[in-house]
C-alpha cells in the first residue's frame, strides 16, 4: 500500500470551505471575514503586484519598425502566465493598428514557456490593411527563442442586426465566496509548485458558482461558471479593456476539462500546459464590472483537453467567446519544481 500523499489515485479529503452549497461552508467563509483578517496582499509571500503588472507589462519600448520590447515585471511565478503573454501580444498588435479598428478575434499558439526575469520582444507583421479589416501577426520571443505566435484581426465598427445567447441563471457574485479565501483555506495542501501562482496577489476577483475543485479524483461535470472582475478600476478604452479580458480569459477554462477525467489541477502527478488560445470579441464591456464566465468542455483525448467559454456582462449580454486546448498528462513520478 502506498504511503499517504504518494498514491496519485488516492482521494484527498475536501476542506469544508470549498463546498459552496453547504450552509456550514458559507457560515465558515463569512465568519472568517472579520476586520482583523489579513488581506491577500498582507499574507502573500510573493512579490507580484497586480497594479505594477498592469502598468509595466504594457510599457512597450520601440526597438525598431513594428518591433517592441517589455522589461521583466517582478514576479514569483515559475514561468510567464499564458494570459499575460496573450494580453501583451494583443497589445503589441494594437500599437500598429488605427484606433478606429477594434480587435474582433485572436488566435494564439504557446510554443515555449517564458522566463519571468528576462525581457520579451514582439515583432509585428502587418499582414493586411483594408478599408474595414486589418490583420496582424505577432511573434513574441525571449533571447531569440519563440514563446508565442498570435494572429489578431481588427475591424471598423458598423451597425448590423445582432443577437445573444441567454446567460445562465446563477447566484449573484455577492452571495459567493472569494476564490482567494478558498485558496487560503486549502493552505499547505496546495503543492509547492502551484503556490507562486495561486497564492500571489491576483489581478482579478474570482467567485466560483459551483464547488471549486483542487485535487478531487472523482469525476464531475464538464461545465462550471465563475463571476470575475478586476481588482481596482480601469477607465481605459476598448483596446485596454480587451487586453485585460484576454489576460483573465486564460484562467480556469482548461481546468474545466479535468473534472470528467477525474483529475484535479493540483494533482502532483499532473503535467499541464496551455497549448493554444482563441478569443472572439462580440460587444463592449468593462473589466472592473462583474462578468460571468460560463465554461464547458466537449472532449479530451490523447492527453489533450479542450475548454470553451462564453463571457457575459451582468446584464446578460455576451461579450466574448473563448476556446483553449491544454496538455493534461498524468506522470508516473511526482512533478516538482515546474508546472
91: CB partners within 8 A, 6+ apart: 58, 60, 239, 243
Is 274 annotated in the active site? Answer: yes
Q: What is residue 259's DSSP assignment?
A: G
Q: Which residue has the cell 476542506?
A: 15
SS3 29: helix
Classify the phi-psi angles of 302: left when phi > 0, otherwise alpha if psi is within -120 to 50, otherwise beta: left
Catalytic residue among 44, 250, 297, 325: 250
Residues 225, 274, 323, 325: which is the catalytic one?
Answer: 274
Residue 294 burial (CB count, 10 A): 20
For the question of residue 271 being annotated catalytic, the response is no
DSSP-assigned beta bridge partners for residue 278? 107, 323
In Å, how far are 22, 31, 183, 212 from 16, measured between CA atoms? 8, 13, 12, 11
Task: Describe the crossing of helices 238-249 and 82-94 by its angle, rounded to 10 degrees.
Answer: 160
Indicate the pairing of strand 291-301 with strand 204-208.
unpaired
Give the C-alpha separation, 235 to 24, whole Å: 39
Q: Is 44 a catalytic residue?
A: no
Residues 152, 137: Cα–Cα separation, whole Å:
7
Long-range Cβ contacts of 54-60 (<8 Å, 24+ apart)? 54/203, 54/232, 54/234, 54/244, 57/84, 57/87, 57/88, 58/88, 58/91, 58/243, 60/91, 60/92, 60/95, 60/122
Q: Which of 286, 289, 283, 253 is nearest to 172 (CA)?
A: 289
Looking at the annotation, which residues are catalytic?
Answer: 250, 274, 324
Amino acid at each position: 500500500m502506498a504511503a499517504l500523499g504518494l498514491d496519485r489515485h488516492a482521494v484527498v479529503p475536501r476542506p469544508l470551505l470549498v463546498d459552496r452549497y453547504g450552509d456550514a461552508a458559507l457560515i465558515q467563509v463569512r465568519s472568517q471575514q472579520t476586520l482583523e483578517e489579513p488581506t491577500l496582499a498582507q499574507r502573500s509571500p510573493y512579490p507580484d503586484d497586480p497594479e505594477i503588472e498592469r502598468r509595466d507589462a504594457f510599457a512597450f519600448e520601440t526597438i525598431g519598425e513594428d518591433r517592441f520590447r517589455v522589461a521583466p515585471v517582478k514576479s514569483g511565478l515559475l514561468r510567464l502566465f499564458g494570459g499575460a503573454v496573450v494580453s501583451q501580444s494583443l497589445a503589441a498588435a494594437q500599437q500598429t493598428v488605427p484606433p478606429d479598428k477594434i480587435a474582433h478575434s485572436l488566435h494564439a499558439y504557446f510554443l515555449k514557456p517564458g522566463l519571468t526575469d528576462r525581457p520579451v520582444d514582439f515583432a509585428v507583421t502587418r499582414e493586411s490593411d483594408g478599408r474595414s479589416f486589418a490583420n496582424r501577426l505577432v511573434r513574441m520571443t525571449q533571447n531569440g527563442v519563440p514563446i508565442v505566435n498570435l494572429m489578431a484581426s481588427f475591424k471598423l465598427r458598423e451597425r448590423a442586426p445582432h443577437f445573444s445567447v441567454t446567460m445562465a441563471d446563477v447566484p449573484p457574485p455577492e452571495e459567493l465566496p472569494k476564490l482567494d479565501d478558498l485558496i487560503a483555506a486549502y493552505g499547505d495542501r496546495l503543492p509547492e509548485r502551484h503556490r507562486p501562482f495561486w497564492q500571489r496577489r491576483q489581478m482579478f476577483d474570482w467567485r466560483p458558482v459551483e464547488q471549486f475543485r483542487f485535487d478531487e479524483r472523482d469525476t464531475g461535470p464538464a461545465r462550471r461558471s465563475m463571476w470575475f472582475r478586476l481588482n481596482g478600476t480601469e477607465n481605459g478604452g476598448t483596446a485596454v479593456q480587451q487586453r485585460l479580458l484576454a489576460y483573465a480569459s486564460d484562467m480556469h477554462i482548461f481546468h474545466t476539462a479535468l473534472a470528467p477525467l477525474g483529475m484535479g489541477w493540483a494533482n502532483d502527478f499532473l503535467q499541464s500546459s496551455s497549448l493554444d488560445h482563441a478569443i472572439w470579441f462580440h460587444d463592449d464591456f468593462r473589466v472592473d464590472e462583474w462578468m460571468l464566465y460560463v465554461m464547458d468542455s466537449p472532449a479530451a483525448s490523447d492527453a489533450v483537453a479542450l475548454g470553451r467559454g462564453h463571457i457575459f456582462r451582468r446584464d446578460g449580454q455576451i461579450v466574448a467567446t473563448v476556446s483553449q486546448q491544454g496538455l493534461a498528462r498524468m506522470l508516473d513520478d511526482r512533478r516538482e519544481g515546474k508546472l
